[in-house]
């Protein structure tokens, strides 16, 4: 009954405040001039002290982007985005590259404390949790903890800008190798203006000694966040990486267009978990983040494994398809997703499993929960290449509707070109059962608690896949996100 208690407590914790990360921090910041042009890109590149090749790469992407059209196929609608009406770089003013917590602006530390992100290594060592954190604030990384300890194990975990300077060979080798700069409209935009993100490199045979985590925070008004994350696991390496994100509560829409690239070589395993909790906008759909993200993992080596787990509760509009290219023979991909939409939120999310290698397997479990007037779409592709023998896929997409104004859609694509492939897809859509609600209430639970409990049960398969620290947080989020959706 632990889960029940936690859920009940989580709901009690609400205290009426729905989005508790909606505050903003008053801090002086350096910004690029408003708008987007080659000058903006040169400004960002100069700020980050980048080598010429990086600038060239960005400029090429930008020129390509100018020729591209915004995708319109997703089941989301929003007013046209004015790409000139935003800042593409904003960084809290501080000495370049703080090395220790003492050098970090106390206001920032306070912000992360409020967000519940442990940045003080002592606290963490005292047993609160075992996570190394890279904290990204608007366009820059403010601090990365445990860098030294990780270095001892041979693990590189640092802000992306630092990696460009310190490990140019690795970055050049892998950057854009999974998501090419020309991949899609938003990925190309990101390639041109990306600011910061995390770079992770796990050398051959190393099992990363702690969970790695990046916490993204949008703070400044009218800015977009364009982070770029690159994770490489060499032969036999293992890493578990967590990503969290929040933003202040504002009336305007802010753009977040990230790119995440994962590379798993022979026998390597990458577990990537996200709790996405950007500001979703208010009940009337005013404000909120546009979350247009390209995430892709490449199982390049034999028997490699990439597992995506996501809990999507935030953002006004989500457009996100974490995918796996199963290139290595025997590699496997997993996608576990909970997508919750309430009020006027719109979610179009899913995955692609591209089976190129033989004996590759994939598993997709997607749980969509729609409440309020929201729209929640699962869109996914499972494709089997002609030469991929003995492929196995199982897909399950369940949608839960709470209330009669919301909508849930399932758009799976299944393409098989090899008879030895066994592909199974099943999907259901139903409403929250009145009988179950009644039963819970009859046992003394309030409506909100009962909903949180039932929805947590509905999502259980996915919640179990989250690292422990996240699982608790995620369960609470489920309750909070659906507050006010029933009765």
Partner 1 sequence: MTMAARNIKTGIAERRLIEEAGAPGFSHAGWFDKARLAALDSFEAAGLPHRRLEDWRYTDLRQILEKRLTKTEETSGRSDAPAGLLDAVDAYVALIGAEGVEGDFSGLPEGAEIVPLGDVLDEGWVRDAMDASVFGDTDAPQAAAIIDLNTALLGGGVAIHIAHGVVLEKPIHLAFSGNGTRHLRSVIVLEEGASACVIESHQAGANAFSDFVSDIRLTRNASLTRIRIQNDDRSAIHLASDRIVLGEGAVLDGFLMTLGAAVSRNQSFVRFTGEGARATVNGVYALRGSQHGDHFCLTDHAVPGCESVTLYKGVLDDASTGIFQGRVLVRPDAQKTDGRQANHALLLSREATMNAKPELEIYADDVQCAHGSTVGELDRDAVFYLRSRGLDEASARQLLISAFLDEVFEAVTHEGVRDILRVIASEWFVQERSRHHE
Name the residue nearer to partner 1 (CB basis): 32 or 402. 402
Name the residue nearer to partner 1 (CB basis): 221 or 431. 431
CA separation, residue 214 to residues 132, 157, 416, 487 (Å): 8, 10, 37, 37
Give the Cα separation of 406 and 402 in Å (integer).
7
C-beta of 451: minimal distance to partner 1 in Å? 13
Beta bridge partners of 240: 271
Name the residue nearer to partner 1 (CB basis): 141 or 416. 416
Name the residue nearer to partner 1 (CB basis): 26 or 404. 404
C-beta of 97: minimal distance to partner 1 in Å? 45
261 neighbors 230 (Cβ within 8 angstroms) = yes
Name the residue nearer to partner 1 (CB basis): 10 or 326. 326
C-beta of 328: minimal distance to partner 1 in Å? 22
C-beta of 485: minimal distance to partner 1 in Å? 11
| Interface ranges with partner 1 (CB under 8 A) | 69, 72-73, 386, 399, 401-431
232 neighbors 261 (Cβ within 8 angstroms) = no
Give the Cα separation of 454 and 460 in Å (integer).
10
C-beta of 433: minimal distance to partner 1 in Å? 11
466 neighbors 474 (Cβ within 8 angstroms) = yes
C-beta of 383: minimal distance to partner 1 in Å? 9
Give the Cα separation of 416 and 428 in Å (integer).
22
Name the residue nearer to partner 1 (CB basis): 34 or 417. 417
C-beta of 417: minimal distance to partner 1 in Å? 5
Name the residue nearer to partner 1 (CB basis): 369 or 474. 369
Name the residue nearer to partner 1 (CB basis): 125 or 422. 422
C-beta of 184: minimal distance to partner 1 in Å? 14
C-beta of 429: minimal distance to partner 1 in Å? 4
Give the Cα separation of 440 and 435 in Å (integer).
9
C-beta of 326: minimal distance to partner 1 in Å? 17
Name the residue nearer to partner 1 (CB basis): 175 or 369. 369
Name the residue nearer to partner 1 (CB basis): 316 or 388. 388
């Amino acid at each position: 009954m632990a889960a029940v208690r936690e859920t009940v407590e989580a709901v009690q914790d609400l205290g009426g405040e729905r989005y508790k990360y909606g505050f903003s921090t008053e801090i002086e910041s350096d910004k690029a001039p408003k708008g987007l042009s080659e000058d903006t890109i040169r400004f960002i590149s100069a700020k980050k002290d980048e080598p010429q090749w990086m600038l060239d790469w960005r400029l090429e992407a930008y020129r390509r982007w100018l020729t591209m059209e915004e995708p319109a196929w997703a089941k989301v609608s929003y007013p046209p985005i004015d790409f000139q009406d935003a800042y593409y770089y904003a960084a809290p003013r501080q000495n370049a590259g703080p090395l220790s917590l003492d050098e970090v602006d106390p206001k920032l530390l306070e912000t992360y404390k409020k967000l519940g992100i442990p940045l003080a290594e002592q606290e963490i060592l005292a047993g609160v949790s075992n996570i190394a954190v890279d904290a990204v604030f608007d366009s820059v990384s403010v601090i990365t903890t445990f860098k030294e300890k990780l270095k001892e194990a041979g693990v590189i975990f640092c802000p992306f800008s630092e990696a460009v300077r310190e490990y140019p060979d690795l970055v050049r080798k892998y950057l854009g190798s999974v998501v090419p700069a020309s991949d899609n409209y938003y990925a190309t935009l990101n390639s041109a203006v990306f600011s910061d993100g995390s770079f992770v490199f796990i050398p051959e045979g190393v099992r990363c000694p702690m969970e790695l985590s990046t916490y993204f925070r949008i703070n400044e008004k009218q800015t977009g966040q364009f982070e770029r994350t690159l994770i490489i696991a060499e032969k036999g390496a293992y890493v578990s990486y967590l990503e969290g994100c929040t933003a202040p509560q504002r009336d305007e829409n802010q753009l977040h267009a990230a790119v995440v690239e994962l590379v798993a070589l022979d026998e390597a395993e990458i577990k990537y978990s996200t709790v996405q909790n950007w500001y979703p906008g208010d009940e009337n759909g005013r404000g909120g983040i546009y979350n247009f993200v390209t995430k892709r993992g490449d199982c390049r080596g034999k028997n490699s494994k990439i597992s995506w787990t996501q809990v999507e509760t935030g953002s006004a509009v989500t457009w996100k398809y974490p995918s796996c290219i199963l290139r290595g023979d025997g590699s496997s991909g997993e996608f576990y997703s909970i997508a919750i939409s309430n009020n006027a939120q719109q979610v179009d999310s899913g995955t692609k499993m591209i089976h190129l290698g033989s004996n590759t397997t994939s598993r997709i479990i997607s749980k969509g929960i729609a409440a309020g007037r929201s729209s929640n779409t699962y869109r996914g592709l499972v494709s089997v290449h002609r030469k991929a023998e003995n492929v196995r896929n199982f897909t399950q997409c369940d949608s839960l509707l709470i209330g009669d104004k919301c909508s849930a859609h399932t758009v799976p694509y299944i393409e098989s070109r090899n008879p030895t492939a066994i592909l199974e897809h099943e999907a259901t859509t139903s409403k929250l059962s009145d009988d179950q609600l009644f039963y819970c209430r009859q046992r003394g639970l309030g409506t909100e608690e009962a909903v949180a409990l039932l929805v947590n049960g509905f999502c259980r398969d996915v919640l179990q896949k989250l690292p422990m620290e996240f699982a608790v947080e995620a369960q609470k989020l489920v309750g909070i996100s659906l507050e006010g959706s029933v009765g």
